[in-house]
Amino acid sequence: MPTLTLESTQLRCDIRPDLGGCVAGLWFGDLPVLRSVAGAQLTQARQSGSYPLVPFSNRIGQATLQWQGTSHPLVRNNGSEPHAIHGVGWQRPWSVLEQTPQFALLAYEHRADSSWPFAFDASQTFSLDGSRLSQTLSITNQDSKPAPVGLGWHPYFVKRARSRIAMAATGRWEMGADKLPTHRQPVSGLDADCNFLEVDHCFDGWTGVVHLRDEQLHTELRSSVKHLVVFTNDTRDFVAIEPVSHVNNAMNLLTAGKGYQAQELGLRVLQPGESMTIDMSIQVTPVHA
C-alpha cells in the first residue's frame, strides 16, 4: 500500500495505513516535529513518528489478561519482552475509507484472536489545518460480551538542543524493574530539560496540555484524555509523549485485589455495541530569534 501524504500550508504528514495506520513522519516545513522518515522508507510502525494504541495502551503484565474470572493468554508482541504491549492496532493493516489533501479516515476491524479475545472495530482520522495536526481515535465493541478497552497514541517528538517539556498532573505511577506500575504518588507534573531527563512513567490527573519547546519550535500537544505516559533518557534522541486513557496494566490492576476502581485507573468497560472516542492535536509554532 502506498504512502498517504497530507499537506497544509505549513505541515506535511506521511501516513502508512499498512503499517499499523502509523504516522511515518510529520514536518513543519523542512523541520521534523516527530521522529520522521519518508513514508516509503519506513519498514515497521515501531520506528515511526507515531502510532495508535488500541484496544489498550502500554503493557498487560506477563501477556495475560485477567478479566471477569477468566485468564486470557495474549501474544507477546515485542521481541523478548514478557508482556503484551500497546494493543494490536499498531501491528495490523488499516483500510483507507476517505482521503483528501488534508484529511484521511482509516479503519481496522478486529475479530477475536490470540492477540486480543474481544471483537471490535476501530477508526482514526487525521486532519491538517495550517500548523495543526488533529486526530481522533474510536473503538466500538463488536463482541457479544462487555470488554475492557483503552485508547491512546505513541508520538515520538524530536529531542533537539535545549528541548524542555512542561505539563501539569496530580499523580505519577512508579514502576518496578518489570516495567509494570507498583504504586501512585502525588506530583505536580513535569517542567524539565529533556536532555537531562530520565522518565518512563504514567501520569494521571493530567490537564490535557503539554508544551515542548526548543530553540526552533514550540510544540503544543492537547488531548481529551487524563493520563499521559512520558518516556526519554540520555540515550534517546526523542521524547515519547503519549496521551492515553488509562494507567499502565490497568486491566490487571483492576482485578489484582488492591482496591482500585475502574474510574481511577481510567479503564472503560464497553457493552456490546458501545463506542468510545478520544482526540489529540499537535500545534507547531516557530521560535523566532
pLDDT of residue 54: 98
pLDDT tier, 255 (very low <50, low <70, confident <90, very high otherwise): confident
Give per-residue pLDDT as tens, 185-198.
999 999 999 999 99
> How high is the pLDDT of residue 1?
61
Q: 89-99 pLDDT, tens per residue?
A: 999 999 999 99
**E strand or H helix that includes residue 95:** strand 95-100
Measured between its terminal Cα atoms, the distance across the chain in Å is 42
Q: Is the peptide bond before 186 cis (omega within 30 degrees of 0)?
A: no
Q: Does residue 108 have a pLDDT over 60?
A: yes
Q: How confident is the model at residue 231 (pLDDT cuts 50, 70, 90)?
A: very high
Domain locations in the chain? 4-286
Q: What is the pLDDT of residue 166?
A: 98
- Residue range 168-189: average pLDDT? 96
SS3 253: helix
Q: Which fold has domain 4-286?
A: Beta-galactosidase; Chain A, domain 5 (2.70.98)
pTM of the model: 0.96
- Res. 13 pLDDT band, cuts 50 70 90: very high
pLDDT by residue (tens digit) across 28-81?
Answer: 999 999 999 999 999 999 999 999 999 999 999 999 999 999 999 999 999 999
How much of the chain exceeds pLDDT 90, in percent? 96
Grid cell digits, residue 129: 489545518
Q: Measured between alpha carbons, how far is residue 85 from residues 36, 65, 108 in Å? A: 22, 12, 18
Handedness of CA 155, 116, 60, 253 (dihedral sign): positive
Residue 174 phi/psi, 5° resolution? Answer: -75, 155
Compute the average pLDDT of residues 21-30: 98
